[in-house]
């Protein structure tokens, strides 16, 4: 506990810092691999559209325990009504429920098959759930899902543009969003689950969550970089990185707490229920929330730093911050400058984290800098003393 | 304690908590009252997918396979409702969905006949009336006097005679002579010749007033029912019937076969039937009036309902342009039907009016019934031939009734068939299993969250658990109340939404606690930190819940109906989360911060001030800190930094 709290403290103050921005290439590589794996899902397994989209009939028989020859029994029941050529896709879900999917049958055929199935599995007809989806219904459901996706994305883009009023932020958030979406859908495809309307609403919810996650981080980024622009002591990348670190504990806690109930649903659902509204939705949300938390920390912010690294204001800031660091080489409290030199820094950053002061501290450029007994440099604030007090802003602006 | 009393913040916090308690009690009371005095239930109503039952999604389509307008959809919905009602299926719900579908949900599983009857196509037809009779068998059909003595006699009800429904050329008619006659003094208008079939010696208006009850309006409707026994003296089969030859015209009673007549005799309009309504335009059919008080034997179709071009209700205007207070329905036909209608009306007008008593033996009468889906909407007689295809119906109906009737005529005109879009029979066993595991998953999820918050926040988890409990209680109450008041049904998607919402609700506590911790790190004492943290967390929570709520609302609008419940519960819990956070969590934490256990920063309190402040960081503002030099990190210390990844 105390270690976590200390860790939180350290992240907050920037004393310990994980170099999210500087090691962008590493994160990009990781997410590229995941993305490729996810996209392979589309190619290898294809989108498995559920009955609601394609039309057809589905029966679920609640048996006491599925007999071993359930496939034959179910197929027989279907063929009795629909003809010998009829195909049936039979599976057992949740241990005791037999699911039979067939081509679209007429309402009367559904009734007949229901009774046959009840006979075959020796249950009451009332124990058999039957659903019939007409082709035009499936079409309208698909259209609705597509429309929902388009409208939601458009709304999101508008919201982002309005909220950030900086197109680069909006763009970074949007890329992170697309990244989440592709991975979520890809992994869902790998799972072999059918895409149902529940899945679609799950995907849309993921969009919302992921967007919100990014907004929380970007809010802090904006706050910190605004400070940096004023004090001229931090590069843009440093300020952004500090922001991610400061929100990290919150991001982790939020995600863990949000995902915990979903995991419970998934485990129980997989074991006992099989595909259905509950499991479809939860699976989409589980993947999406996890990926969303990852992308807001590892993708969105580094991307933003890179997008802005060529802005004149940012270049100027980075130069001034670099000059400041040169003037006060040993006093750096934030991770080494990243900015334009992202690549080279990532190359040197072989350690898991870039602790403050690393690169320049090692250089014996300033042996006269004040040092503690243990030989470490005295912190810049301690060094500069009270004269260095920055202006206090009113509470409301902090 | 005495210091607390003087502490305005604590006092306000306590007051808020008490107010919340009162509000929750009031809600429980409301639900309890609902349970006791009304049909509310302590448990929420469940959706079909949890309770078991059958759901159809039907799409009404017109002949050309096209969709329908929203008015037609409403009309179609009414038709379906009527069909289901006539089957006696209880607890069925018929709703429209989007702009094109009708959703029928019912408990249990309908039989094949019931199902066919529900989704049979509907068609409006104009058919001549060949016979009428009391809608349902009279228990004591002997009292011939009683009916007459009741106030329903035509002559005793002034408006009964003056406002009888009768079709006359509409106001736009160019044939002025007859129109004037019809409009100026409908009551005085001389009736078409009366003859054999009609028992009453009343003028035509009153004679046709016996057709009035078909619209089911009060005054004349009563007269029909009450005077029914008069005609019903011979019991269920007052007139034996055998067609005497081949029919020569639609109005010829010979259209009635023996079987049809027997069916007519057996027809009981108050009984439930799952018969598909007859619509064959070439045969005589039986039908009931809307309120079931009359049954009709109708000849073959003379004009199809689809030839109605418009129907509107309004007040009758005199030729002088004055508006009377007589409601009328004006009806216009397309050119082809105009001709037929004109012929039919001139044929009919020469025929005897329907008798004032409902027992009219099979014959030809001056009455043309508009029948929709086995129900006679209106069956007026003609005062004169209508050559121009614009008829006006007046009768003893109120303007509202006239409007409703006009709506039916206008939007029911097109023949509709119902395509089954989707159908689901859900077995109650499977449904309850889904619910059971859903609840188990929810409880496990809740325990996991509680466990995690104990791990993270120690004693503070009590606040979390308390808040979760309150949130759960409020959600449950809200859903139970919504079930009662708004017919809300909790479905599987809704349950999923509730489970997912556990995380959302817990998130707001995390934001709050982390904010307070941040404040502690900056060196505040707990009391101040709670207040300062609240100020900051408040904004975050508002934004977070705002975003969530908007997302839920958008999802609700966009999602397909089956999963709408998810968006609904997500939105609902977001609101409840906000309320709980505001009115429970914050006041509770404010009070707890004044307890010694928390304020002293006990290591188990979750606000172990010592640890939080041991960093010794002094916050200077603007994310700048004073770090004591001896605590400065050693270069390359990576301890547990990597573990987070």
pLDDT in tens, B286-332: 888 777 777 888 888 888 777 788 888 888 777 777 777 778 888 88
Longest Cα–Cα distance of chain A, Å, equals 94
The DSSP secondary structure of B563-616, one letter per residue, reads GHHHHHHHHHHHHHHHHHIIIIIHHHHHHHTTSHHHHTT-TTSS--HHHHHHT-
Q: Both tokens of residue B598? A: 């928390």
Q: Which residues contact A283 (CB under 8 A, 6 or more apart)?
A: A188, A191, A193, A199, A202, A266
Q: Which residue of B has its CA nearest to A393?
A: B621
Tell me how far apart the alpha carbons of residues B33 and B14 are, in angstroms, rounded to a whole number.
28
End-to-end CA distance of chain A: 28
Q: Is residue A360 in some structural domain?
A: no
Q: Report the gap between the CA of B616 and the closest CA in chain A (Å).
A: 10
> Which region among A273-282, A387-396, B41-50, B221-230 has the lowest average model confidence (pLDDT)?
B221-230
User: Are residues A308 and A291 both part of a single domain?
Assistant: yes
Output the CA–CA distances (angstroms, integers) from residue A44 to A38, A41, A291, in the order listed.
10, 5, 21
DSSP structural state of residue A271: I
Q: Report the gap between the CA of A369 and the closest CA in chain B (Å).
A: 14
Question: Which CATH code for domain B53-121+418-424?
Answer: 3.30.70.3400
DSSP structural state of residue B154: G
Q: What is the pLDDT of residue B275?
A: 63
CATH number at residue A83: 3.30.70.600
Strand pairing class (B124-134; B303-304): antiparallel
Q: Is residue A77 in some structural domain?
A: yes
- Backbone phi and psi for residue B175, each to the nearest 5 degrees, phi listed first: -80, 95
- For B494, half-sphere exposure in the C-beta direction (CA atoms, 13 angstrom radius) is 21
CB distance A77 to A34 below 8 Å: no
Q: Report the gap between the CA of A338 and the closest CA in chain B (Å).
A: 18
- pLDDT tens track for B347-361: 887 777 776 667 677
Q: Is residue A339 in some structural domain?
A: no
Q: Which residues contact A365 (CB under 8 A, 6 or more apart)?
A: A329
| B66 close to A (CB below 8 A) | no
Tell me how far apart the alpha carbons of residues A283 and A199 are, in angstroms, rounded to a whole number.
8
ipTM summary value? 0.72
Sign, Cα dihedral of B109, B114, B116, B121: negative
Q: Could you tell me the pLDDT band of residue B525, with boundaries at 50, 70 and 90?
A: confident
User: Are residues A73 and A216 both part of a single domain?
Assistant: no
Contact B453 A249 (CB under 8 A): no
| B422 close to A (CB below 8 A) | yes
Q: Is residue A345 in some structural domain?
A: no
- pLDDT tens track for A245-266: 888 877 888 888 888 888 888 8
Contact B495 A278 (CB under 8 A): yes
- Which residue of B50, B431, B441 is the best one to mutate when testing the A interface, meaning the one whose CB has the most A CBs within 10 A? B441
The DSSP secondary structure of A305-358, one letter per residue, reads HHHHTTSHHHHHHHHHHHHHHHHSGGG--SPPP-GGGHHHHHHH--SSS--TTH
User: Are residues A126 and A149 both part of a single domain?
Assistant: no
Selection from B165, B54, B641 nearest residue B397 by Cα = B165
User: Are residues A169 and A310 both part of a single domain?
Assistant: yes
Tell me how far apart the alpha carbons of residues B517 and B335 are, in angstroms, rounded to a whole number.
82
Burial of residue B235 (CB within 10 Å: 0-12, 13-18, 19+) is exposed
User: Are residues A289 and A201 both part of a single domain?
Assistant: yes
- For A275, half-sphere exposure in the C-beta direction (CA atoms, 13 angstrom radius) is 23
- pLDDT tens track for A88-106: 788 787 777 788 888 877 7
Selection from A372, A343, A243 nearest residue A361 by Cα = A372
Which residues in A lie closer than 8 A to residue B628 (C-beta atoms)?
Answer: 382
Which residues in B lie closer than 8 A to residue A127 (C-beta atoms)?
Answer: 427, 429-430
Kindly indicate whether the domain formed by B253-413 is annotated with CATH number 3.30.1360.200: yes
Tell me how far apart the alpha carbons of residues B384 and B396 are, in angstroms, rounded to a whole number.
19
Q: Is residue A338 in some structural domain?
A: no
Reduce the DSSP state of residue A16 to 3 states and report it. Answer: coil
Q: Which of A300, A322, A344 is the last residue of a domain?
A: A322
Selection from B570, B176, B146, B158 nearest residue B396 by Cα = B158
> Across all residues in chain A, what is the average pLDDT?
76
Q: What is the pTM of this model?
A: 0.67
- Backbone phi and psi for residue B370, each to the nearest 5 degrees, phi listed first: -100, 115
Q: Where are the alpha helices (DSSP H) in B333-427?
A: 335-349, 399-411
User: Are residues A145 and A279 both part of a single domain?
Assistant: yes
Which residues in B lie closer than 8 A to residue A350 (C-beta atoms)?
Answer: none
- pLDDT tens track for B26-77: 988 888 888 888 777 788 888 777 887 888 888 887 776 666 777 778 878 8
Q: Where are the alpha helices (DSSP H) in B232-371?
A: 258-266, 335-349
Tell me how far apart the alpha carbons of residues B342 and B358 are, in angstroms, rounded to a whole number.
27
User: Are residues A129 and A147 both part of a single domain?
Assistant: no
Contact A260 B428 (CB under 8 A): no
Q: How many independent structural domains does chain A possess? A: 2
Question: Which CATH code for domain B8-43+427-611?
Answer: 1.20.1640.10
CB contacts under 8 A, B 611-640 vs A, are 611-612, 614-615, 617, 620-630, 632-638, 640
Contact B633 A355 (CB under 8 A): yes
Q: Where are the alpha helices (DSSP H) in B175-256?
A: 176-184, 204-209, 218-231
Longest Cα–Cα distance of chain B, Å, equals 121
Does position B595 have pLDDT exceeding 50, yes or no?
yes
Contact A197 B492 (CB under 8 A): no
């Amino acid at each position: 506990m105390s270690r976590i709290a200390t860790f939180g403290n350290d992240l907050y103050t920037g004393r310990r810092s994980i170099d999210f921005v500087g090691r962008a290439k590493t994160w990009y590589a990781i997410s590229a691999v995941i993305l490729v794996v996810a996209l392979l899902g589309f190619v290898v397994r294809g989108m498995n559209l559920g009955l609601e989209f394609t039309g057809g009939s589905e029966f679920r028989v609640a048996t006491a325990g599925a007999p071993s020859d359930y496939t034959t029994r179910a197929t027989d029941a279907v063929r009795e009504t629909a003809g010998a050529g009829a195909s049936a896709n039979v599976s057992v879900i949740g241990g005791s429920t037999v699911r039979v999917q067939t081509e679209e049958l007429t309402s009367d055929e559904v009734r007949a098959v229901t009774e046959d199935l009840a006979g075959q599995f020796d249950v009451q007809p009332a124990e058999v759930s039957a659903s019939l989806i007409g082709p035009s219904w499936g079409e309208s459901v698909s259209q609705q899902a597509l429309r929902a996706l388009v409208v939601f994305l458009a709304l999101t883009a508008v919201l982002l543009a309005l909220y950030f009023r900086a197109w680069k932020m909006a763009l970074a958030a949007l890329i992170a969003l697309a990244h989440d979406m592709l991975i979520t859908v890809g992994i869902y495809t790998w799972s072999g689950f059918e895409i149902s309307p529940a899945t679609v609403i799950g995907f849309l919810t993921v969009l919302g969550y992921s967007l919100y996650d990014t907004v929380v981080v970007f809010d802090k980024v904006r706050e910190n970089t605004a400070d940096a622009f004023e004090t001229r002591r931090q590069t843009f990348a440093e300020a952004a990185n500090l922001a991610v670190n400061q929100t990290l504990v919150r991001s982790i806690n939020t995600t863990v707490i949000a995902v915990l109930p979903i995991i419970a649903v998934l485990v129980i659902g997989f074991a006992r229920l099989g595909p259905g509204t509950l499991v479809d939705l939860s699976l989409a949300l589980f993947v999406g929330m996890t990926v969303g938390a990852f992308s807001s920390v590892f993708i969105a912010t580094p991307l933003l730093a890179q997008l802005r690294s060529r802005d004149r204001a940012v270049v100027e800031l980075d130069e001034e911050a670099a000059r400041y660091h040169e003037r006060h080489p040993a006093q750096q409290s934030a991770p080494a400058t990243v900015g334009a030199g992202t690549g080279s820094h990532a190359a040197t950053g072989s350690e898991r984290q870039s602790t403050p002061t690393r690169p320049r501290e090692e250089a014996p450029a300033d042996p006269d800098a004040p040092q503690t007994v243990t030989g470490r440099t005295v912190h810049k604030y301690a060094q500069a003393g009270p004269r260095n007090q920055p202006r206090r802003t009113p509470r409301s602006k902090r | 304690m005495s210091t607390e009393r003087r502490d305005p913040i604590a006092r306000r916090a306590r007051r808020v908590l008490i107010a919340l308690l009162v509000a929750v009690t009031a809600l429980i009371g409301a639900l309890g009252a609902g349970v006791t005095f009304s049909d509310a239930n302590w448990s929420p109503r469940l959706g079909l997918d949890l309770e078991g039952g059958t759901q159809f999604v039907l799409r009404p389509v017109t002949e050309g396979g096209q969709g329908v307008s929203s008015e037609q959809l409403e009309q179609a919905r009414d038709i379906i409702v009527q069909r289901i009602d006539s089957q006696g299926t209880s607890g069925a719900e018929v709703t429209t969905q989007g702009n094109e579908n009708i959703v029928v949900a019912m408990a249990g599983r309908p039989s094949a006949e019931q199902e066919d009857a529900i989704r049979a196509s509907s068609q409006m037809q104009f058919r001549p009336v060949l016979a009428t009779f009391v809608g349902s068998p009279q228990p004591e059909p002997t009292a011939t006097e009683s009916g007459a003595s009741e106030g329903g006699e035509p002559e005793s009800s002034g408006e009964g005679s003056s406002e009888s429904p009768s079709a006359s050329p509409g106001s736009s008619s160019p044939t002025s002579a007859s129109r004037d006659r019809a409009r100026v003094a409908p009551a005085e208008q001389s009736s078409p010749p009366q003859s054999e079939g009609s028992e009453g010696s009343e003028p035509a208006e009153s004679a046709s007033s016996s057709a009035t009850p078909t619209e089911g309006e009060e005054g004349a409707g009563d007269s029909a029912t009450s005077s029914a026994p008069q005609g019903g003296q011979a019991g269920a089969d007052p007139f034996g019937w055998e067609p005497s030859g081949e029919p020569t015209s639609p109005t010829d009673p010979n259209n009635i076969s023996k079987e049809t007549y027997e069916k007519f005799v057996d027809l009981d309009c108050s009984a439930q039937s799952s018969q598909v309504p007859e619509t064959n335009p070439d045969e005589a059919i039986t039908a009931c009036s809307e309120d079931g008080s009359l049954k009709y034997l109708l000849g073959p179709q003379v004009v199809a309902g689809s030839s109605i071009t418009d129907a509107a209700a309004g007040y009758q205007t005199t030729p002088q342009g004055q508006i009377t207070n007589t409601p009328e329905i004006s009806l216009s036909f397309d050119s082809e039907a105009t001709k037929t209608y004109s012929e039919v009306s001139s044929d009919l007008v020469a025929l005897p009016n329907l008798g004032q008593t409902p027992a009219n033996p099979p014959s030809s009468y001056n009455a043309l019934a508009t029948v929709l889906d086995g129900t006679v909407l209106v069956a007026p007689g003609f005062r004169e031939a209508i050559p121009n295809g614009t008829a006006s119906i007046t009768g003893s109906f109120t303007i509202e009734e006239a409007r409703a009737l006009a709506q039916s005529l206008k939007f029911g005109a097109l023949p509709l068939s119902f395509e089954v879009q989707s159908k689901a029979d859900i077995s109650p066993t499977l449904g309850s299993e889904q619910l059971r595991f859903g609840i188990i998953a929810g409880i496990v999820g809740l325990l996991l969250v509680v466990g995690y918050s104990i791990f993270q926040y120690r004693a503070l988890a009590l606040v979390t658990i308390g808040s979760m409990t309150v949130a759960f209680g409020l959600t449950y109450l809200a859903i139970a109340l919504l079930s009662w008041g708004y017919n809300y049904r909790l479905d599987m998607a809704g349950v999923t939404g509730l489970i997912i919402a556990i995380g959302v609700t817990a998130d707001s506590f995390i934001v709050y606690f982390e904010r307070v911790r941040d404040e502690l790190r900056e060196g505040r004492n707990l009391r101040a930190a709670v207040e300062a943290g609240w100020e900051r967390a408040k904004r975050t929570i508002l934004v977070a819940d705002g975003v969530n709520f908007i997302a839920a609302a958008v999802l609700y609008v966009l999602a397909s109906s089956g999963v709408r419940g998810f968006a609904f519960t997500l939105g609902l819990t977001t609101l409840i989360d906000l309320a709980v956070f505001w009115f429970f969590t914050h006041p509770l934490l404010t009070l707890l911060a004044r307890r010694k256990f928390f304020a002293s920063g006990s290591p188990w309190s979750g606000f172990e001030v010592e640890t939080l402040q041991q960093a010794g960081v002094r916050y200077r503002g603007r994310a700048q800190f004073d770090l004591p030099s001896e605590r400065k990190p050693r270069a390359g210390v990576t301890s547990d930094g990597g573990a987070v990844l």
